[in-house]
Amino acid sequence: MSRQTLLTQQHALQCLGTALGFVLLRSIATTHRLPPQADEASLYVHWPYCLKRCSYCNFNKYIPRNQNHAVMTACLQRETQTLLQLSQVSRISSVFFGGGTPSLAQPSTIAAVLETVSKHAHLSDEAEVTLEVNPTPAGKASLKDFTLAGVNRFSVGIQSLNDDHLRTLGRDHDSQHALWTVSEARTLCPGRVSVDVMFALPGQSVKSWESELEKLLPVCDDHVSLYQLTLERGTQLFKQVDSGELSVPGDDVTAVMYNSARGVLEKAGFRQYEVSNFAKNNAVSEHNIGYWKGRQYIGVGPGAHGRFVLRAVGGVQREARTQTLEPDVWIREVQRHGHGTRRRIQLDHHGLLEEVLVMGLRMNEGITQQHWKLFSPEDDLQQIFGMSEKVQEFQAGGLLKLNNRGLRCSWEGLALLDSILPTMLLELEMFFKKDCTQGNA
């Protein structure tokens, strides 16, 4: 972005008060409507390092030989500052430290990043600040320091309470460590501890899964995330299953596992608020809800993703941004340019609505009329999907509900969401095509 364009933008903004400026702004707004909630965002910070490689994980993570915490801290701060300034958000609604294994970061790093945030935007004391924790003895020991640094919510990756499964997954903790860590976290952040558990593990039966859940309920706090193990190409586990050394439960079994877990958790007072997330006492993850509600987020750190408007350079559309993957390269880029954004893709109105649709339907409450209206003031859900034969089929089949409250999946529908979404995307596309041709005529 050249200085000249920046000046032009500023000039346009200065015209705001005049009648001419008003007309100018309106014409921009109708062709390129500024996406909603551009004034705030959540912040995701990626810590790319792990102590060892889990057998199922193909995520962006690195096993470092020696680590320079000071450099990493400085770069995370620098990129946070740059991206915050680019976005010109005045408020950061939540922060999430994910990884990798962010509990391997020094608490002072967390503190430094949060300090940077506060320097460039408003970060409320109440804002949710989550840290992903590996339930190892070392992780447990530093929990207190993390809370002192500003963390007020822990997400503990216990994965399983069965030691055989933990070994198969290549985790560096056992079930006892997991219990201790959860207990410590609950003491520090009562009501704000989440646990991650996995099902469809090699050798797991519906029965053993259910008994594992029963074991988990009395020790966990108010939030549970439930993930089905997905075999990713290139992982050790994939190879083991591929070669027949291990076997994972089939589709029918995993369906039973998923649904029985939903039943068990519901009975224990947990409300499912998203495909994989359950909370009681309304202890939902504000940060993650931001993703599903199509709010802006800024991604900092190697491989992090973001979605925000670059208001500082006159952006009117959201951008999907991806940071450079390899930590060393990312560090160099941040040092040189202030950020390590590797890829930028403009999200047009249609593209944004697609994301709002796909992400929104993951939530139990679905997409309310008001929520949709934020992004699509002109065409409501009824107009877009109401006439569709296929949507009517989904409704008749008891999978989808479309009414004056909004659009959402039924209990059965939520489990089949990925079969429903391609059709919904096509309907949306067809609506826009029709709209477009009518508009031209």
- Write out the residues near other proteins by the rule CB under 8 A: 44, 46, 98, 226-228, 230, 251-252, 254-256, 258-259, 275-276, 288, 291-292, 297, 299, 303-307, 320, 322, 354-355, 358-359, 362, 393, 397, 399, 414-423, 425-426, 429
Between 186 and 262, whose beta carbon lies closer to other proteins? 262
Between 183 and 350, whose beta carbon lies closer to other proteins? 350
Q: What tokens appear for 17 in the block?
A: 């008060």
Between 107 and 301, whose beta carbon lies closer to other proteins? 301
Between 134 and 288, whose beta carbon lies closer to other proteins? 288
Q: How many helices (H) and strands (E) does the chain have?
A: 19, 15
The whole-angstrom distance between residue 267's C-alpha and the CA centroid of its chain comes to 27
Question: In the bound complex, what is the minimum distance in angstroms from residue 169's beta carbon to other proteins?
Answer: 15
Q: Which of 43, 150, 148 is nearest to 98 (CA)?
A: 43
Backbone φ, ψ for residue 62 (5° rounding)? -135, 145
End-to-end alpha-carbon separation of the chain, Å? 37
Question: In the bound complex, what is the minimum distance in angstroms from residue 225's beta carbon to other proteins?
Answer: 8
- Do 401 and 366 form a contact (C-beta atoms < 8 A)? yes
The number of CA neighbours under 13 Å toward the Cβ of 20 is 4
Which of helix, strand or coil describes residue 203?
coil
Amino acid symbol at 263: G
Question: In the bound complex, what is the minimum distance in angstroms from residue 426's beta carbon to other proteins?
Answer: 5
Between 108 and 395, whose beta carbon lies closer to other proteins? 395
User: What's the residue count for the chain?
Assistant: 441
Question: In the bound complex, what is the minimum distance in angstroms from residue 2's beta carbon to other proteins?
Answer: 29
Spell out the SS3 assignment of 402-434. EECCEEEECHHHHHCHHHHHHHHHHHHHHHHHH
Between 107 and 157, whose beta carbon lies closer to other proteins? 157
- Do 156 and 181 form a contact (C-beta atoms < 8 A)? yes
Between 214 and 429, whose beta carbon lies closer to other proteins? 429
Can the peptide bond before residue 100 be classed as cis, meaning omega within 30 degrees of 0?
yes
Question: In the bound complex, what is the minimum distance in angstroms from residue 212's beta carbon to other proteins?
Answer: 16
In whole angstroms, give the CA distance from residue 185 to residue 140: 8
Between 125 and 251, whose beta carbon lies closer to other proteins? 251
Between 178 and 414, whose beta carbon lies closer to other proteins? 414
Question: In the bound complex, what is the minimum distance in angstroms from residue 126's beta carbon to other proteins?
Answer: 21
Q: What tokens appear for 50 in the block?
A: 């792990």
- State the residue for tokens 């909630």: 37
The number of CA neighbours under 13 Å toward the Cβ of 110 is 26
Between 107 and 360, whose beta carbon lies closer to other proteins? 360
Cβ count within 10 A of residue 44: 22
In whole angstroms, give the CA distance from residue 421 to residue 238: 27
The whole-angstrom distance between residue 321's C-alpha and the CA centroid of its chain comes to 14
Between 105 and 177, whose beta carbon lies closer to other proteins? 105
Question: In the bound complex, what is the minimum distance in angstroms from residue 419's beta carbon to other proteins?
Answer: 5
Q: What tokens appear for 214 in the block?
A: 């029963």
Q: What tokens appear for 395 in the block?
A: 């409704």
- State the residue for tokens 């501890």: 193
DSSP 308-358: EE-GGGT--SEEEEEE-SSHHHHHHHHHHHS--EEEEEEE-HHHHHHHHHH
Question: In the bound complex, what is the minimum distance in angstroms from residue 9's beta carbon to other proteins?
Answer: 28
Question: In the bound complex, what is the minimum distance in angstroms from residue 413's beta carbon to other proteins?
Answer: 9
- Do 407 and 400 form a contact (C-beta atoms < 8 A)? yes
